[in-house]
Structure 1
Amino acid sequence: MSHLPRKQKREILVIGAGGVGTMACVALERSGMARVTAVLRSNYEKVVRDGFEIDSVDHGKLSGWRPSHVVNKIPDASLQRPFDYVIVTMKNIPEITNIAEIIAPSVTPNHTTIVLLQNGIYTEPPIIDAFPTNAVLSGPSYIGAHERNGHVIHDDPDRYHLGVFHNTQLDRKYEQSRLEDFASVYNGNNIEHAMVVQDIVHYRWRKALWNGIYNTMCAITQLDNAAIRRSGGEHSLIRPGMAEMAAIAKADGYDLGENIVDEMVDATPIELSFRPSMLVDVDKGNPVEVEVILGNALRVARREGVQTPILDNTYRFLKLIQNRLLTARGYIDEPKEIPTADFI
């Protein structure tokens, strides 16, 4: 396994430069310790021409900002200067995307560390299966950042827990060295964005309590988090759903504490009418991360024999919505509706 010279700038690829990915690019470039290549899609031409317009709670106003390189497709790894880190911030929707296949051209075996800054629980094992000689870092992000056509509003600080998802084929000391190196680069602009932890799955489960319930139920009801609570959903759905998720985590070996439901409910004050990302995706007609946010958790529940009636029904309703979204985007071919008169 290769180790990186301390003073050499890190070559970093960011895949998924929306709000979260763009602010990752900013933090890394402004550290002075990295050269970042950002993969853009719909906003590629706009950013190449004008750069990003960024209004950031962490970095202030940036006009015409660009990372070192901007590309519109996944670049192949260079034999002379391979990517030291490949960061994935794109949404993980296995019905339409295979993350391992997408990043494969840019990953150099025995060298590139893969960093998953995405939603979900247990998204790491498929990456380790695909890249058994590469370290995998994982980090649930708490940032609030939204990008539209090259304009980024970043109104909630860029903070996330970061840890190793252990690959049994790799030496733990090597994995730890990559974790510490990446965190030092990301935090190099004197802001502690990345909070290094030793058990990242614990923190993934903590976020699953919020994402797996608020995100999903807001998407189904088309209500923001405060509206659900004011309408009586806090005690009939939100709290019981979070208790089920905590029970799954505990069966998986992660006791999140007796006050975890109160903590997660209060994390977003009722005075703040917050529209979670899954609700925003439904509003836009975009497919949602139902499998990685809720499906994976429920598969753990089935394995461990945990009863989850509220989360089961939440999953069923969300899968129906997902089917509608995938059909509308052309990912699923549905038979045309037969007019009622034809049955008469």
Structure 2
Amino acid sequence: MSESTHQSKRNVLVIGAGGVGTMACVALERSGMASVTAALRSNYEKVLRDGFEIESVDHGKLSGWRPSHVVNKVPHVSAESPFDYVVVTLKTIPEINNIVEIIAPSITPNRTTIVLLQNGIYIEPPIIDAFQTNVVLSGPSYIGAHQHNGHVIHDDPDRYHLGVFHNPKLDPEDERRNLEDFASIYNGAGIAHATIVADIVHYRWRKALWNGIFNTMCAVTQLDNAAIRRFGGEHSLIRPGMAEMAKIAQADGYNLGDKVIDEMVDATPIELSFRPSMLVDVDKGNPLEVEVVLGNALRIARQKGVQTPILDNTYRFLKLVQARLLAARGYISEPKELPTADFI
């Protein structure tokens, strides 16, 4: 069990202060129960000098706001002041970053609880393998928040399902205590809503029905969520793709229910046009979370013998989009000429 439950304030590190990470900093710091350190990258100088400018549906307008501490890299933990919680909101893009290596300097064995507020399915096992004495909490986010150079627009309420991803080497009661403690901090200001759930994988599969289909197909077509439906994609791509994802979840032991596709589609009214986060990344020329959002699910489909022709082709096209984005940023080199066999 973490010693954090015996302290008046928990020592929390948030790694990745984009829109999601910044609003996590706000929720945790404003609870009065945490001292938050934000590890920033491109926006460090701006935030250090001026603070964040935040327009939030939950918190209102915050001008010049900062958490307790702002740093420009993941700090090496000190014996005198270990982190009780390390919250990870970085995008998981294995082509350009290694989450385990990034967070390792900040983790104290047997002490630090790792909280993954990230997209994707089965992002937790590599973390548990690397940090076998640390509790791992997981929370798919439903927040709508975008950050650019210290300016955050938060236009969809801060909501999470939060649960333990069980480590068989740890005591479930200790895991549960840390889960309840972190949720109480996150919800401490009475504004954000981190809802504790018994089986977080179930809720990650539910989000995969939306994220792995709307997000990916909008990124490939460069149509927003409403346009792709108006132009005929709802019944030729969106719903059939969701049906394939539901079959993968079923094969993995998670029955999402007969109405889950209607629920996921209806959760995004066609009158509400917006560009999903993966499409926004395409707009900005940023690499995509291809593997954790879709690739991991398809690897499970292959293991379980589930046929997924629509998602397979979506993945193939998405990988081509990813290659273009990686090449433009200099992460990979474009071949001068592809062999003919690559086009077959």
Which TM-score tier does this pair reach, normalised by the shorter chain?
Answer: over 0.9
1:33 aligns with 2:33: yes
Instruction: Give the equivalent residue in structure 2 for 1:191.
Output: 191
Alignment of 1:37-48 (within 5 A): 37-48=37-48
The structural deviation recorded for 1:183 is 0.3
Code of the aligned partner of 1:123: I
Code of the aligned partner of 1:152: V
Provide the C-alpha distance between the structure 1 equivalents of 2:259 and 2:274, rounded to a whole number of angstroms.
22
Instruction: Give TM-score, length-normalised by structure 1.
Output: 0.97
Provide the C-alpha distance between the structure 2 equivalents of 1:257 and 1:238, rounded to a whole number of angstroms.
17
Instruction: Give the equivalent residue in structure 1 for 2:151.
Output: 151
Instruction: Give the equivalent residue in structure 1 for 2:299.
Output: 299
Provide the C-alpha distance between the structure 1 equivalents of 2:17 and 2:145, rounded to a whole number of angstroms.
11
Code of the aligned partner of 1:287: P
Provide the C-alpha distance between the structure 1 equivalents of 2:63 and 2:4, rounded to a whole number of angstroms.
32
Structure 1 counterpart SS, 2:47:
helix
Structure 1 counterpart SS, 2:291:
helix
Distance change in 2, residues 1:207/1:5 (3 Å): closer
Q: CA deviation digits over 1:289-321, x for unaligned, max 9?
A: 010000000011011111100000000000111
Instruction: Give TM-score, length-normalised by structure 2.
Output: 0.97
CA contact (8 A) 2:2 2:84 kept: no
Structure 2 counterpart SS, 1:4:
helix
Instruction: Give the equivalent residue in structure 2 for 1:175.
Output: 175
Provide the C-alpha distance between the structure 1 equivalents of 2:213 and 2:337, rounded to a whole number of angstroms.
33
Provide the C-alpha distance between the structure 2 equivalents of 1:244 and 1:335, rounded to a whole number of angstroms.
34
Q: CA deviation digits over 1:36-59, x for unaligned, max 9?
A: 000111111111111111111111
Code of the aligned partner of 1:330: G
Instruction: Give the equivalent residue in structure 2 for 1:140.
Output: 140
The structural deviation recorded for 1:5 is 4.0
Code of the aligned partner of 1:134: N
1:205 aligns with 2:244: no
Provide the C-alpha distance between the structure 1 equivalents of 2:58 and 2:233, rounded to a whole number of angstroms.
34
Provide the C-alpha distance between the structure 2 equivalents of 1:5 and 1:142, rounded to a whole number of angstroms.
27
Structure 2 counterpart SS, 1:231:
helix
Instruction: Give the equivalent residue in structure 2 for 1:258.
Output: 258
The structural deviation recorded for 1:337 is 6.1
Provide the C-alpha distance between the structure 2 equivalents of 1:269 and 1:139, rounded to a whole number of angstroms.
24
Alignment of 1:40-119 (within 5 A): 40-119=40-119
Q: CA deviation digits over 1:103-145, x for unaligned, max 9?
A: 0000000000000000000000000000000000000000001
The structural deviation recorded for 1:96 is 1.2
The structural deviation recorded for 1:98 is 0.6
> RMSD in angstroms over aligned alpha carbons?
1.1
The unaligned stretches of length 5 or more in structure 1 are 339-344
The structural deviation recorded for 1:156 is 0.4
CA contact (8 A) 2:114 2:136 kept: yes
Provide the C-alpha distance between the structure 2 equivalents of 1:214 and 1:2, rounded to a whole number of angstroms.
38
The unaligned stretches of length 5 or more in structure 2 are 339-344
Structure 2 counterpart SS, 1:70:
strand
Provide the C-alpha distance between the structure 2 equivalents of 1:4 and 1:53, rounded to a whole number of angstroms.
30
CA contact (8 A) 2:59 2:191 kept: no
Code of the aligned partner of 2:270: I
CA contact (8 A) 2:2 2:178 kept: no
Q: Percent identity?
A: 81
Provide the C-alpha distance between the structure 1 equivalents of 2:97 and 2:49, rounded to a whole number of angstroms.
29
